[in-house]
Amino acid sequence: MDGIVLDRIKSLLAGRLADLAARLRAALARIETGDFGYCTECGEAIAAARLEFDPALALCIACARYGDGPVRR
> Looking at the domain assignment, is residue 26 inside a domain?
yes
- Look at residue 73 and tell me if it is in a domain: no
Residue 2, pLDDT score = 87
Q: What confidence score (pLDDT) does residue 67 get? A: 73
What tens digit of pLDDT does each residue of 13-70 get?
999 999 999 999 999 999 999 999 999 999 999 999 999 999 999 999 999 998 755 5
Number of separate domains in the chain: 1
**At residue 21, what are phi and psi to the nearest 5 degrees?**
-60, -40
Give the helix, strand, coil percentages of the chain, each rounded to 5: 60, 5, 40
Local structure of residue 42 (DSSP, 8 states):
T
Assign residue 54 the CATH number of its domain.
1.20.120.910
Task: Indicate whether 47 belongs to any domain.
Answer: yes
**Buried (b) or exposed (e) across 2-24, using 16+ Cβ within 10 A?**
eeeeeeeeeeeeeeeeeeeeeee
Whether residue 27 lies inside any domain: the answer is: yes
User: pLDDT band for position 10 (50/70/90)?
Assistant: very high
